[in-house]
Structure 1
Amino acid sequence: MQKLMIVLAAVIAAAIGVASYQLWPKAEPEALVYQPPRAPAPFQLQSTESPDAINNQALKGQWTLLFTGYTFCPDICPTTMSDLKNALPNLQQHTDTPVKVWMISVDPKRDSMERLKEYTGYFGDAFVGIRAEHPQLFPFVRDLGLMYSVPEEGEKNYLVNHSAAIILVNPDGNRIAIFNADHQAGEIPVVDMEQLKRDFAIIAG
């Protein structure tokens, strides 16, 4: 009789567990997730990883975090790069596929490939500098859902206005999510890295 009671208790516990799993909502990412994932428009860009021009194939076989920036950026860019460098070990724990970061320079006039390579190399091997002239760069950035604007010719120590959001591309080379920056009065607009880490674990899991 006691053995029967133990068996019944185990069956009931298992049934409750299944019911709880079905009724309890699964964790959902807070980021804007593209359903279905979207392939970027065809592109030809320069990369610090390759002496030759790269295209959409360069996004395949890895998770890629893309954001716009430039090496003369005084605040958003170095902050975002540092935050991503600190977050990468956590992100890599959730996937066997490499996780990389593409910093897309929105200042091709001042950002040579040599300068980009030195800048991104400071943050680690997972960081890649991407460059193109404006006729190729602007359509690529706009297609990602990002933006930038450069002051008119003539200014020397100019600043470039650009998006602070981060795009996540899956190993198939498709955009799967966008992490928007948190805009607070008097604060640098940056992406919440704790949210990004939580969402990546859900999306990549």
Structure 2
Amino acid sequence: MTRIQKTVFILVALVALVIGLTVYKVLNTGQPLDTAELLDAGIVILPQGRDVPDVTLTNQDGQPVSTHDLQGKWHLLFFGYTFCPDICPATLAELRQLRSQWPDEVNQQLQPILVSVDPERDTPEQLKKYLDYFGAGFIGLTGPLDDIQTLANAVGVPFIPADTSKENYTVDHGGNLALIGPDGRLRGFVRGPLRAEKLAEQLPVFISSEG
């Protein structure tokens, strides 16, 4: 084999190796990550993760849950309340629909959580009754208003506490969901109102790409 032939052989081998590694990466992450498509689906990823404050709240079963427990899987934090007339039931219904579309492996990796912005009325019992309407797989958290507001502000989804002295009061809050990574850090947001069709496709792509 001549020197030129050897050089060509080596170059071909290197190209084949690069192509092989690329194909392997694509096959093992589902498909290449497209930032534009994520944004079009309402998914905003932060350049760097942010720490989440250590706050302990109570779930719908009356058990304490620390924000430090939000590790090992992805979590979607939605700040709302059970007496909400519009945004909350619509968002939870869309999340229920998404969970029915996603394969089991995605649902096992992604946990939706309703964090109440109305702890005055949202007892664990009330949360349980409300979430049961949307089916299995949802977690609800309630607790001291100050702790809830600390968490909401830290993950960039603030709300305005209500005047609970008024009858049938409402709480001003947004529709964005905070995306917490398996490392327990804030990784981004899902903008509301949810773009269910695009979100059904793109959120699993992002999760698989992150391993």
| Fold equivalence (TM over 0.5) | yes
Task: Look up the match of 2:34.
Answer: 27
Q: Give the residue type in structure 2 aligned to 1:104.
A: V
Unaligned 5+ runs, structure 2: 1-11, 24-31
Q: State the Cα distance separating 1:96 from its structure 2 match.
A: 7.5
**Where is the helix percentage greater, Structure 1 or Structure 2?**
2
In the alignment, structure 1 residue 41 sits paired with structure 2 residue 44: no
TM normalised by structure 1 equals 0.77
TM normalised by structure 2 equals 0.75
Cα deviations by residue, 1:51-92 (Å, 9 ceiling, x for unpaired): 332112321122211111111101100000000000013344
Task: Look up the match of 1:152.
Answer: 163
CA distance in 2, matches of 1:34, 1:135: 26
CA distance in 2, matches of 1:176, 1:104: 18
8 Å contact from structure 1 (residues 91, 99) kept in 2 = no
Change (3 A) 1:176 1:199: farther
Task: Look up the match of 1:7.
Answer: none
Unaligned 5+ runs, structure 1: 1-10, 182-189
8 Å contact from structure 2 (residues 54, 68) kept in 1 = no
Match of 2:172 among 161, 167, 173: 161
Q: State the Cα distance separating 1:153 from its structure 2 match.
A: 4.2
* 1:116 counterpart SS class: helix
Task: Look up the match of 2:69.
Answer: 58
User: What does residue range 36-185 of structure 1 map to in structure 2 within 5 Å?
Assistant: 36-49=48-61, 51-92=62-103, 95=106, 97-181=108-192
Q: State the Cα distance separating 1:93 from its structure 2 match.
A: 5.1
Q: Give the residue type in structure 2 aligned to 1:129.
A: G
Change (3 A) 1:72 1:91: same
Q: CA RMSD in A?
A: 2.6
* 1:95 counterpart SS class: helix
